[in-house]
């Protein structure tokens, strides 16, 4: 093993729960600094995790001697600011998904990374879960051309105003909403199998319109907690992506991919089924759904990109591809019409 990458993590949510513990565990990384908006929280985190610096000053984070990479895990609307600043200092960037809250912002991040000549990845880690990896690999192998593909998520964690505290994730202006939380992961999965989307239609809803903040006050929720998306694939076939976060009874994700040559399904018991036309479906599972294990795969790839020149996965180009469909979804929802995603030019 070559020397570990010295990395800083910006963000005390996902950054603390998943990214920092994984970087600390893997021999490929050495976490050296952590950023929180609250300096005292940053110092406490650094102490708890044995990281050298905890700071609320992003510039101080970027100035750590020997720092090589930054993981940006802050609210979506702030990714551009953090990721561009890191790239301009010549640091490699692991950016949380979606790259930004619109395609223009995502392109600014990609342009900054490209002109700095550093490595960049976007953390679409859900595709690295064992369940979803199997779905993608089997689908590529056997389904053929798309007929109908669907991803259906049913969650109960937002069913009441007190069931999850109010954060930026409930504020549309900060890029919140369940579409940025889960919808982009599901679009990423479908695009891995059927990349050519001709047009999208979309409807979003706020089922629980107020949510209690940590200060005890009720705040108005402006970002969706439910959505239903329709996709038309170029050359034929439809896709459906839906989520309800306010269900009274949640269940595991269900994915179905029906093509002209075969079928792949992830059922609610984490079992993957597949078969070609004329064959009985066979299955494997229950498979591992751990986010931490999935992120380890992304992190190891990041190391290989930086140290060995491996191909990034998930790549910035794939991040732009999702972002273009995500932008079209937003427009389709607001204007209540079918919208064609903007083509994204290729990024090496």
Ligand X SMILES: NC(=O)c1ccc[n+]([C@@H]2O[C@H](COP(=O)([O-])OP(=O)(O)OC[C@H]3O[C@@H](n4cnc5c(N)ncnc54)[C@H](OP(=O)(O)O)[C@@H]3O)[C@@H](O)[C@H]2O)c1
319: part of which helix (H) or strand (E)?
helix 316-335
- Closer of 174 and 197 to ligand X (Cβ): 174
- Eight-state DSSP code of residue 77: G
Least gap, CB of 98 to ligand X (angstroms)? 7
- The only residue of 7, 11, 86, 158 in contact with ligand X, by rule CB under 6 A: 11
Closest CA to 64 of 93, 44, 35, 36: 35
Least gap, CB of 123 to ligand X (angstroms)? 4
Residue 159 burial (CB count, 10 A)? 19
Q: Quote the radius of gyration of the chain (alpha carbons, Å).
A: 20
Residue 248 burial (CB count, 10 A)? 9
Least gap, CB of 27 to ligand X (angstroms)? 22
- Closer of 64 and 143 to ligand X (Cβ): 64
Q: Could you give the string, one character per residue 120-159, with x where binding to ligand X holds by CB under 6 A and - elsewhere? A: ---x-xx---------------------------------
Does 174 help bind ligand X (rule: CB under 6 A)? yes
Hey, which residues between 205 and 244 contact ligand X (CB under 6 A)? none
| CA atoms in the 13 A half-sphere facing the CB of 189 | 32
Least gap, CB of 171 to ligand X (angstroms)? 8
Please tell me whether the peptide bond between 213 and the residue prior to it is cis, using omega within 30 degrees of 0.
no
Does 74 help bind ligand X (rule: CB under 6 A)? yes
φ, ψ at 151 (rounded to 5°): -125, 120
Q: Are 161 and 212 contacting, i.e. CB atoms less than 8 angstroms apart?
A: yes
Q: Could you give the string, one character per residue 255-284, with x where binding to ligand X holds by CB under 6 A and - elsewhere? A: ------------------------------
Interaction site with ligand X (CB under 6 A): 11-15, 36-38, 41, 73-76, 78, 96-97, 123, 125-126, 167-168, 174, 180
């Amino acid at each position: 093993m070559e020397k570990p990458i010295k990395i800083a993590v910006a963000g005390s949510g996902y950054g603390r729960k998943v990214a920092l513990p994984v970087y600390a565990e893997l021999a490929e990384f050495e976490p050296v600094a952590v950023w929180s908006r609250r300096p005292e929280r940053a110092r406490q985190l650094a102490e708890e995790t044995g990281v050298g610096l905890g700071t609320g000053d992003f510039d101080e984070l970027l100035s750590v001697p020997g720092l090589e990479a930054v993981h940006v895990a802050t609210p979506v609307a702030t990714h551009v600011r953090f990721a561009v600043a890191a790239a301009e200092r010549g640091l490699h960037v692991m950016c949380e998904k979606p790259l930004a809250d619109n395609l223009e912002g995502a392109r600014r991040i990609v342009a900054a990374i490209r002109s700095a000549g550093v490595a960049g990845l976007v953390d679409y880690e859900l595709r690295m879960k064992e369940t979803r990896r199997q779905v993608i690999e089997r689908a590529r192998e056997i389904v053929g051309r798309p007929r109908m593909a669907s991803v259906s998520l049913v969650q109960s964690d937002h069913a009441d105003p007190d069931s999850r505290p109010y954060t930026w994730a409930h504020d549309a202006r900060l890029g919140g909403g369940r579409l940025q939380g889960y919808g982009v992961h599901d679009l990423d999965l479908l695009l891995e199998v059927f990349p050519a989307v001709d047009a999208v239609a979309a409807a979003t809803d706020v089922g629980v319109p107020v949510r209690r903040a940590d200060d005890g006050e009720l705040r108005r929720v402006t970002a969706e907690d439910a959505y239903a998306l329709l996709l038309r694939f170029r050359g034929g076939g439809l896709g459906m992506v839906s989520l309800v976060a306010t269900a009274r009874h949640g269940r595991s994700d269900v994915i179905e991919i029906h093509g002209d040559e075969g079928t792949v399904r992830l059922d609610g018991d984490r079992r993957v089924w597949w078969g070609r036309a004329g064959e009985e479906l066979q299955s494997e599972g229950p498979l591992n759904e751990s986010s931490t294990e999935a992120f380890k795969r992304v992190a190891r790839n990041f190391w290989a990109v930086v140290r060995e020149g491996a191909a990034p996965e998930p790549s910035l180009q794939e991040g732009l591809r999702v972002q273009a469909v995500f932008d079209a979804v937003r427009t389709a929802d607001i204007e209540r019409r079918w919208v064609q995603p903007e083509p994204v030019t290729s990024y090496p």
